[in-house]
Every structure is written in C-alpha cells, then in structure tokens.
Amino acid sequence: RLRTQPISLSHHLHRPRSLATLVCLQDGLTNPSAFEKLVVRLIPRSSSRTLAVGDVVAFNSPLNSHDPNSLMVRRVAALEGHPMLTTDDDSVERVPLGHCWVLADNEQLQPPDVIDSRAFGFLDMQLILGRVIYRVRNSKQHGPVANSPQSEAADAAVIEGEVDVDELAAGMPAE
C-alpha cells in the first residue's frame, strides 16, 4: 500500500533568523524579513537509530512542554550512551537512555544568552518533533539544512518530493 500522507510538516515553523540577542528577537516579532521558514521531517519515535549527532532538530521546549507553540530548534551534540565531561569536576557522565544533548549553533553564546541543554539539561527525545531538513529566508536564500551525512542522504528524497520553494517563499520578502 502506498503512503499518501507527507512525512514532513505541512505547515512550516516560523522562527527568528537569529536568536543571538534579545534585540534581534524583538525585531523579528515586528519585522517579517527577520523570519525564515523551516521544513521539518517528522520523526514519530526519536531515538539514536533515527537521529545522529549533528542533526538539527525541532522540539517542544522542555521549559514549557505543554505549550505546542513553544518549539525550539537546536543541533544534537550527543545521543544516549555518549560520554560527556562534567564542568564541575571533569568527571565523565553518560547521556541517559531516551535523552540527548542539544546545543545552539552559535558557539560564542553562553547561558543565559542562549537556551539549550546547558540551561535545561538532557533533552527527553520524546519532545522531539523531527529533523529540520530545509530552510527558506526568501525566494533567493534557501536550501537544505546541514545535518549528519546519513540523515542528509535519508532526507534527500523527502526534500525532492515534498519541498516546494515557490510555495514556501510566497509572501516572504524578496531579499
């Protein structure tokens, strides 16, 4: 039986282009050119078999998991079972089963200027909606999101079959 439903979100996440500063976020709320659209490949049961280190994921904020509008986007830095050094005493701690560690891409930012696993701890993988596979800033600036090589290969057919750039860029600023 052929699958007829898309495996990516039919509506697209809107997020500020940069969460680097509060000023940028506030500007994004009133300036539509500061937003981009993200296409998310749905992953019903996130695990270390369906995600890889380096993947960009969209998830319900662990700080407000009951609000479906509180989505966050971060890159997976470690999966369940991976060893991590603690900052307190340089001891090794393993990522618990069913969890991962996510970080913002901007390495210059530190909490409290950025909210990621350094602020909320290990992310329960049940909160993950899916992997971000494509982004559109406008009709000229768009493309696949850099994920792990295995995920990029797995997502290529989804991008080919389900991403309509003209539709995504409709109503967005020209540049």
pLDDT range class, residue 4, cuts 50, 70, 90:
low
Distance CA 158, CA 160 (A): 5
Q: State the pLDDT at residue 24.
A: 28
Q: What is the pTM of this model?
A: 0.80
Q: State the pLDDT at residue 148.
A: 97
Distance CA 145, CA 133 (A): 5
Question: What is the percentage of the chain residues whose pLDDT exceeds 90?
Answer: 31
Burial 138-157 (b: 16+ CB within 10 A, else e): eeeebeebebbeebbebbee
Dump pLDDT digits (tens) for 114-173.
888 988 999 999 999 899 998 888 778 888 999 999 999 999 988 888 888 888 887 777
What contacts 23, CB < 8 A, 6 or more positions away? none
